[in-house]
Amino acid sequence: MALQELLAQTSSQWYRVPAPGDVQRVYITADSTLFACTNTGLYREDLHTGGWKFYTSADGFIGNDVYDAAPGSAGKIYFAASPLAVFKGNSFSSFSIDSIPDAADVVVDRNGSLWCAAWQGVYRYGPTGWEKFTYQIGEGNHIVIALDSAGRIWCGGGDSNINYYDSLGWHLEQYFQEGITGTAMALTTAEDGALWVGTSDGYLGRRSNGLWSLGRSTVFPSPVTGIAVRNDTVWVAANSLFRGIGSSWTQFKASDGLADDNPTSATFDRWGQLWIGHPGGRVSILKDGSWSAKPLGTDLPDFHASSIAANGNGFIAVGTKLRGVALFDRVTWKTIQPGLPSDTVSVVRFDNAGNLWVGTPKGVGMYNGYGWKNYTTADGLPSNDIACLAVSNANSVWCSTRTSLARFNGNTWNSYSIPSGIGISNIGDLAIDSAGAVWAATDSGIIRFDGKTFTHYNPLSKHTGITSIAIDRHGIKWCGSDSAGAWQFNDTVWVALDWRSAGSLPITSVRVGLDGSVWFGAAYEQGVYRFDGTTWSNFSEIDGLADGDVHDVAFDKEGNAWMASEFGVSAYNKDGVVLSVQSSRTAQSPLNFELKQNYPNPFNPTTRIDYATTSRSYVQLAVYNILGQLIKKLVQQWREPGNYSIDFDGAGLPSGIYICRMTASGGAGVFIRAGKMVLLR
């Protein structure tokens, strides 16, 4: 068996590519291990080596929404999640607390007891187990907790209230008398013993020697979500970063070196470095007066996966909402963001030549492996706000704006406006049938366009919002709606599909698999539904999905179903996900670029063409007639070093001499070869 076949390993049924989300808290251990608590899981990185791992519920970390961390005894680290979790060494264990809602914050007191602030009370875990406090402090809004220098436990109470616990029990304080209003959302203690609180109304309060005062005379523009205090300097995260020294305040932005303009948390490590958490899995560090931005290690540039596509060479493309496109070559992920019209991606699709087409709010981008070619209204698009893309079997590329269609003619776009009488205001998806007609899912049923005429179909007498459409090999249209379930349409009759309790949920995507099964992505954490013609199956995060809000589905030639979701990417294969691609390459890479003589030659009507590449190259292989006219493009995609073969079918062509031409471009330069082939009938 060839080496590549040995590498074509089959793993478990699920493959997940989660990514760090909004950084809600950063914690640095004494051995320089970074823990970032995010709303999609827990990120851990060795700051010495750069090695990292991202933990989710699939790794035994119970609860993907992680709010805070606190050190305990014997090397333990406690995490506020749902439910609470403790990390020691390289493994997690969870606490089971009856009827506790999401844990929001944790702290360990001087006696080693763990305190947890939650939505319905405060909990303490000591030698005798768990103890719950609600009567003394009231129900709800206990989302922050802190330990002061006197050993007292402080927690946020109701509106404009705060509670503390000492040897005498619980005490209630009200800071609204000093003009501070709102629920406590950030709480920290300073070296001088002062307590600082940030509220949902944007106030910053300070308690020192039993007295409350305003920490800043003016209100912040947004809720205060993070406070860090060191010496006489206060740092505040309130949808922007502010530094206060006395009565002087300074605002910091991305132009100053921050990862972005919207920080979510702030904390100092034991060495005095300031760490700022940001949305989208990024942190900023202030060291020796200088800022540096650090993206958390991840395979995806952004955890919001909006669209996904697969090509015949095994590549997977993922469009993201904030940071462009990621490409997966079955070994590594690579971001190809620079050059796009916009970093916000609505849709990605491959054409039959291996080119990647990307729809954005600022136009269409086409990536050919070398770089980007962008198209806008100046190139014939009806609008730059591209909602959908589709590619036909004949390699026609179509796109849509909210109310118009456009077809790429090789250089520019031909635009087609949907008649206003049809009454649509939004196109949500496109599909192309075997005859080349375009079908559009709209907020008022579906529309067929054959290049000349628009035809409108609606499953109900009232307007039905169709969100997605797919066409199977028999020409059947499968549709998902925003509130009326799933439908099947044979160009004449609509059939409502019984997909159990999910029938009224918004369907975000519909795609047909290689085996003919139909996949429906659903919103509201309902995952993805698969219909094999008889039976419905549902997959959720419990089964292995990266997230339950599925935006798009695609299928590769290995039979894997790839899903783009709100928090990451997943792949499923009932026989085991295949990541390495079987190839006709031999284990040993060739020594030279080569286009071999076709065999047999002469041929009638098929022949095999062998070629070889010595380095990663963009290969174009095409057949021409003796006049130099293009007959057929056989290959137009990136190839790794190796030996390859492809069949050419000359059915329908007259006898004669034909030319096979190969161009390979890459780091080794440009290789061009041509050879004669004889078709003899």
Residue 136: its pLDDT value, please? 55
Buried b (16+ CB within 10 A) or exposed e, 361-397: ebbbbbbbbeebebbeeeebbbbbbbbbbbbbeeebb
Residue 131: its pLDDT value, please? 84
Record the pTM. Answer: 0.65
Every domain of the chain and the residues it spans? 594-679
Rounded-to-5 percentages of helix, strand, coil across the chain: 5, 50, 45
Residue 172: its pLDDT value, please? 85
CA-to-CA dists, residue 8 to 3, 67, 240, 316, 330, angstroms? 9, 39, 48, 17, 10
Residue 178: its pLDDT value, please? 80
DSSP string, 301-327: S-S-EEEEEE-TTS-EEEEESSS-EEE
Closest of 515, 485, 521, 488 to residue 503, by C-alpha? 485
> 669 CB contacts (<8 Å, ≥6 apart)?
none
Q: Residue 332 corresponds to which tokens in the numbers above?
A: 């590594």
Q: Residue 573 corresponds to which tokens in the numbers above?
A: 């294969």
pLDDT along the chain (681 residues), means of 10: 28 67 87 86 83 74 79 84 76 62 82 84 83 62 83 81 88 83 90 91 92 91 94 93 94 89 90 88 86 75 86 86 85 79 94 90 90 93 95 89 92 91 90 94 94 88 81 93 87 81 73 93 89 89 82 90 89 80 42 82 89 82 87 85 86 90 76 87 82
Residue 337: its pLDDT value, please? 67
Residue 42: its pLDDT value, please? 87
- Distance between CA atoms of residues 496 and 570, nearest Å: 28
CATH architecture of 594-679: Sandwich (2.60)
Residue 600 preceded by cis peptide, ω within 30: yes
- Distance between CA atoms of residues 150 and 195, nearest Å: 11
Residue 7: its pLDDT value, please? 27
- Distance between CA atoms of residues 113 and 72, nearest Å: 9
Residue 506 preceded by cis peptide, ω within 30: no
Q: Contact 18/546 with Cβ under 8 angstroms? A: yes
Query: Burial level of 348, CB count in 10 A (0-12/13-18/19+)?
Result: buried
Helix count (H) and strand count (E) of the chain?
Answer: 1, 63
Residue 188: its pLDDT value, please? 93
**Sheet bearing 77-80, strands edge to edge:** 68-71, 77-80, 85-88, 91-94
Length of the chain: 681
Q: Contact 222/215 with Cβ under 8 angstroms? A: no
DSSP string, 340-407: -S-S--SEEEE-TTS-EEEEETTEEEEE-SS-EEEE-GGGT-S-S---EEEE-TT--EEEE-SSEEEE
Residue 95: its pLDDT value, please? 65
**At residue 210, what is the residue type?**
G
Full 3-state SS string of 127-187: CCEEEEECCCCCCCCCCCEEECCCCCEEEECCCCEEEEEECCEEEEEECHHHCCCCCEEEE
Residue 426: its pLDDT value, please? 92
